[in-house]
Structure 1
Amino acid sequence: MKCSNRNRVSIFLGTISALAFSSAALAVDAEAAKALATQNNCLKCHLVSKEGDGPAYKKVAEKYKGKANAEARLIEHITSGEKAKFPDGHEEEHKIVKTSPPKDMEQIKNLVQWILSQ
């Protein structure tokens, strides 16, 4: 069966549309991420470019760059209350990020993607 030029163009445009849609779906809403970080006092310990009590988000992004488990690892960290080490050596349970509605994974994933995009 031969594929006409019209069919090839339709297939090509369909593929381009699907890729554009999936890229848009993965786009980070930076304003929403910053708002969630502010509401949860994340920026009290983590600054974007500079070290605070917690690592700078740029340093976190560098640490996880290219790692397949980056998103899952950071989601676990901000939703489980696991121990976090501080510059002076002491450890505390990391604050669990709260969303409205509760446990909204889209908001959590957006925050993590924003952190990883720094």
Structure 2
Amino acid sequence: MKAIRIAITAAAALLLSVGAQAAVDNDAAEALMRQNNCTKCHSKDKEKDGPAFKKIAAKYKGKADSEARLVTHLTTGEKAKFPDGHEEEHKIVKTSPPKDMNQVKNLVQWILAQ
């Protein structure tokens, strides 16, 4: 009986995580990236001045705080390290309306889904 409850709980968790990934609005995430010129330094799968989104997703895969960590990175202007070793403040993602955390979280979920 305990094994059945564990299996049901695991299946429910899996379905919830799949549902959360399916809820990403790709068009909105890509529009926000264009508005903020994210692709100047990042691309989906190729290294530029910043890491590829696929590399970022791989770095945070399976980490419980991945979404919160990336939201903080995109909203606080913390330091970003560049391939040549120098550091700059990361551009803060601007949304319309201002500081719309749902838009930022959607972008983060899009990045993590790569």
**TM-score when normalising by structure 1:** 0.79
Partner of 1:61: 57
User: Which of 1 and 2 has greater Rg?
Assistant: 1
Change (3 A) 1:52 1:25: closer
Percent identity of equivalent pairs: 73
Task: Give the gaps of 5 or more residues in structure 2.
Answer: 1-14
Query: Contact 2:21/2:109 (CA < 8 Å) preserved in 1?
Result: no
| Deviation, structure 1 residue 23 | 2.7
| Deviation, structure 1 residue 75 | 0.2
Q: CA RMSD in A?
A: 2.0
1:47 aligns with 2:43: yes
Partner of 1:95: 91
Partner of 1:29: 25
Query: Contact 2:43/2:52 (CA < 8 Å) preserved in 1?
Result: yes
Change (3 A) 1:24 1:68: closer
Q: Which runs of 4+ in 1 moved over 2 A?
A: 22-26
Whole-angstrom distance in 2 between the partners of 1:35 and 1:69: 25
Whole-angstrom distance in 2 between the partners of 1:85 and 1:35: 25
- Quick check: 46-55 or 22-31, which moved more? 22-31
Whole-angstrom distance in 2 between the partners of 1:92 and 1:115: 21
Whole-angstrom distance in 1 between the partners of 2:22 and 2:70: 17
Task: Give the gaps of 5 or more residues in structure 1.
Answer: 1-18
